[in-house]
Structure 1
Amino acid sequence: MAEWQTAEQVAQTTGVPVATLRRWGKSSLVKTQRSTRGTRLYQPHEVATVRAKLAGEPDDTRYRVLLGNGRERPEQVLPPAETLPVTCIDLFAGAGGTALGFHNAGFRHGLLSEFDPAAAATLRENSERLGLGWNIAEGDVRRLDFSGLRADVIQAGFPCQAFSYAGKSMGFEDTRGTLFFEFARAIEQVRPAVAVGENVRGLEKHDGGRTLTTMLNTLDELGYRVAYRILRAQYLDVPQKRERLIMIAVRKDLDAPILFPQERDYLISLRQALDGVPESPGQRYPEKKRRVMELVPEGGNWRDLPEGVAREFMGGSWTLPGGRTGMARRMAWDEPCLTLTCAPAQKQTERCHPSETRPLTVREYARIQTFPDAWDFQGNLAQQYRQIGNAVPVNLGYHVARCVLAMLGAVPRTDDMLEA
């Protein structure tokens, strides 16, 4: 079992300053956990490995790129297994991140539902060109009748909405009027063996945790055992610090464990992810902003600007509390990228290229989300950024899908699958 120590203890044995350790932990560059007293703990061997990597020392193992079949290009999604006789329905499919991950794991898709016209066009274009054979239903999911459909799995990245609780039992009926209800309605009508829900990690504490409780109670009421985990994509073959809440439900009449992927002991750096990335369109800074961003070093932010420049650039945000570390933020080559947003040049969540003074391009965005270079995005530039930024990373979807396949007995369970 890995040894966990306080920042002060690890600093003594590794020579990494406490302040640096806390920065690495906050940015998820190293794993941390809380002690029973609330103190953040670190693993000395992990810290030493990251220090070696950042110092350019050889024989680093933490940053290995292991994407299957010995391939070492992180932009290449995990290789498709042979297609298995296991079917899936994907709701709120977006640009296809989860669907492609499930496809690469071996799933066959019976239906993908997507409301946004540009994202639906992306699904159609890639399905036709790459021969995926997906049936894409564009439009309002509330108009779909699932009663005649059958599938082993239903997957949905439903939007998080507030519910009303006054005088109610916090069950299936309480979700009416929300898009989660459409996920639940599909489950009720199709009765899949497994259902997978995905959302932002903030769902766990949304409305004091009551929103998530309502969802879990709903799945229980529908006849499913359910568990959830917050998965960190940066430890699952994704070059991005991105956390997602994944809930997995299995029908109560089935004797199957609920499995989640175990986090790996390596990361993929932005340098690895963007190696050989194709040229593509991207946003550009206005000249005034470009001159400001030119002053920010690799991995830096507004704190690295001269005070007068920073005050003018930040405007009213200058007096706000908190670190505001997303402002004037330039990415670092030797770390995973920060979480991608729907646009790379938003003032509060800047995603500037590590060495060029410009926002990340569309294809760079796609690499970071582990879409293959052959995956085309439809719509205008803003719509393409939004589709990629909203997507579940393909490789994260792959790892979840392999666990679901093991739950169904379609593939062997492996040591890197953890029972809930």
Structure 2
Amino acid sequence: MGLFAGIGGFELGLQRAGIVTDLLCEYWEPASAVLKKRFDTEVVGDICELRSIPKVDVVAAGFPCTDLSQVGRTAGIDGSESGLVREAFRLIEGASPTWVVLENVPNMLNLSGGSAMTFIADWFEKRGWNWAYRTVDSQNFGLRQRRRRVFLIASRSEDPRGVLFADEVGSPRQRASHSAYGFYWTEGNRGLGWGDGVTPTLKGGSKLGIASPPAVWRVGEEVGQAIARPSIRSGERLQGFHAGWTNVGAKDGARWKMVGNAVSVPVAQWIGTCLVTPREPAEVSRRRLVAGGRWPTAAASIDGSREAWALSERPIAVSRGPSLGALLDQHGGVPLSYEASNGFFTRLQASTLRVRGDFRAALKAHVELVAG
């Protein structure tokens, strides 16, 4: 079952691995409408009003990152939204599933000395659960989006290392050039979010429903088309959903928020496959993890003994399929508006950021064309 289910990225991936969905909980009505359209199961609302959950094997919860994200409020695990993970724990404690799967941003390992990760790890250990977590990047699962997320799996009776740590192929070779590059047009002062052949992480956007999808520079395209932003259909594909997944009546701003907050489907499918058939962990170096120390990118606790594991963010080797430019060709892209492109170019010109000269030239030509 899924708590904080959003638009069902976790659940769709787990279903593709053969795990049946039984009950979904999502508070935000536009996302709830997507769940009701796409899943044949009961969908309920406010987790705080949910008294119990069914006896299931797997509980998945991509709990809110608002208070943990670098671009959020950074209030931490005691914030009003990220702190709702306590409601998930309340329900989990009453149901005792075989597996619990959590997802959140990597900043949870660092913010306030990693207090969020400490709280979660301590909660499970005090109740006799084993746990393992690993940071993985969605671009390593066939998607054209760079999206680093922490996945934690806990179990009272099983070894979660056989799920998250069973696969390891290491970092891929870097290509020298690409036909398209992603960047954040909302930035330009201190960073770009630059992505070689991928977009930077899709974001949820503002609480006012103002969409801020990343932009893409398509090398060699004609002026006016070379600097574009993905359509919402392209955005859905960047997360592993089929194009049109969120098309149930909401406006594009709300749809971008749903997509930006979602769990990448292929990552969830990989986890689901490993949950169905756990294996021996990969042979990599590990070290004892001292309480109070810095949280690494991957770690586990078995019978209360914590270890850091030297694992990459690329568990499996998957072909990315169509290029970023081809994805926009198939599912749509919109030339970046004058206001957006000129604002970005102005900030970039005033900054000390180093960017490719041909990108700067392409951006300048785009601004001049769409101004007119």
Return the TM-score normalized by structure 2.
Answer: 0.61
Shift of 1:401: 1.2
2:7 — aligned with what?
95
In 1, the alpha carbon distance for the partners of 2:81 and 2:267 equals 30
Alignment of 1:38-57 (within 5 A): none
Among candidates 156, 177, 181, match of residue 299 of structure 1? 181
Among candidates 99, 102, 111, match of residue 206 of structure 1? 111
Asked whether the equivalents of residues 162 and 211 of structure 1 are also in contact (C-alpha less than 8 Å), the reply is no
Among candidates 385, 401, 404, match of residue 272 of structure 2? 401
In 2, the alpha carbon distance for the partners of 1:395 and 1:177 equals 24
Shift of 1:367: 1.0
**Aligned letter for 2:265?**
V
Alignment of 1:383-402 (within 5 A): 383-402=254-273
2:192 — aligned with what?
325
Q: Which has the higher contact order (CA 8 A, sep 6+)?
A: 2
Shift of 1:397: 0.6
Among candidates 199, 204, 207, match of residue 342 of structure 1? 204
Among candidates 196, 216, 225, match of residue 352 of structure 1? 216
**Aligned letter for 1:97?**
G
Q: Tell me the matched-pair count.
A: 265
Asked whether the equivalents of residues 161 and 178 of structure 1 are also in contact (C-alpha less than 8 Å), the reply is no
**Aligned letter for 1:366?**
E
- Corresponding position: 1:145 with 2:27: no
Pair 1:250–1:210, CA change in 2 (3 A): same
Among candidates 156, 166, 169, match of residue 61 of structure 2? 156
Shift of 1:404: 1.6
In 2, the alpha carbon distance for the partners of 1:189 and 1:175 equals 23
Asked whether the equivalents of residues 132 and 161 of structure 2 are also in contact (C-alpha less than 8 Å), the reply is no
In 2, the alpha carbon distance for the partners of 1:111 and 1:359 equals 35
Q: Deviations over 1:36-60 (max 9, x none)?
A: xxxxxxxxxxxxxxxxxxxxxxxxx
Shift of 1:414: 8.0
Shift of 1:91: 0.4
SS at match of 1:240: coil
Asked whether the equivalents of residues 101 and 396 of structure 1 are also in contact (C-alpha less than 8 Å), the reply is yes
1:113 — aligned with what?
25
Shift of 1:346: 8.4
In 1, the alpha carbon distance for the partners of 2:283 and 2:28 equals 34
Asked whether the equivalents of residues 6 and 262 of structure 2 are also in contact (C-alpha less than 8 Å), the reply is yes
Q: Deviations over 1:103-142 (max 9, x none)?
A: 1000111111001100010111122xxxxx22211x2101
Alignment of 1:15-414 (within 5 A): 89-127=1-39, 133-137=40-44, 139-146=45-52, 149-160=54-65, 178-251=83-156, 253-254=157-158, 257-260=161-164, 262-263=167-168, 299=181, 322=190, 324-326=191-193, 335-343=197-205, 350-352=214-216, 354=218, 355=221, 356=225, 357-373=227-243, 375-378=245-248, 379-407=250-278, 413=279
Q: Deviations over 1:320-346 (max 9, x none)?
A: 5x4x214xx7x76xx232211235998
In 1, the alpha carbon distance for the partners of 2:139 and 2:18 equals 23
SS at match of 1:338: coil
In 2, the alpha carbon distance for the partners of 1:383 and 1:347 equals 8
Pair 1:371–1:212, CA change in 2 (3 A): same
Q: Deviations over 1:277-311 (max 9, x none)?
A: xxxxxxxxxxxxxxxxxxxx953869xxxxxxxxx
Asked whether the equivalents of residues 9 and 262 of structure 2 are also in contact (C-alpha less than 8 Å), the reply is yes
Asked whether the equivalents of residues 353 and 360 of structure 1 are also in contact (C-alpha less than 8 Å), the reply is no
**Structure 1: runs of 5+ lacking an equivalent:** 1-88, 128-132, 164-171, 273-296, 303-312, 408-412
1:20 — aligned with what?
none
**Aligned letter for 1:134?**
T
**Aligned letter for 2:32?**
A
Q: Deviations over 1:6-37 (max 9, x none)?
A: xxxxxxxxxxxxxxxxxxxxxxxxxxxxxxxx
Asked whether the equivalents of residues 66 and 81 of structure 2 are also in contact (C-alpha less than 8 Å), the reply is no
Shift of 1:204: 0.8
RMSD: 3.9
In 2, the alpha carbon distance for the partners of 1:192 and 1:106 equals 17
Return the TM-score normalized by structure 1.
Answer: 0.55
Pair 1:268–1:237, CA change in 2 (3 A): farther
SS at match of 2:270: helix
Asked whether the equivalents of residues 268 and 336 of structure 1 are also in contact (C-alpha less than 8 Å), the reply is no
Shift of 1:238: 2.4
Shift of 1:347: 11
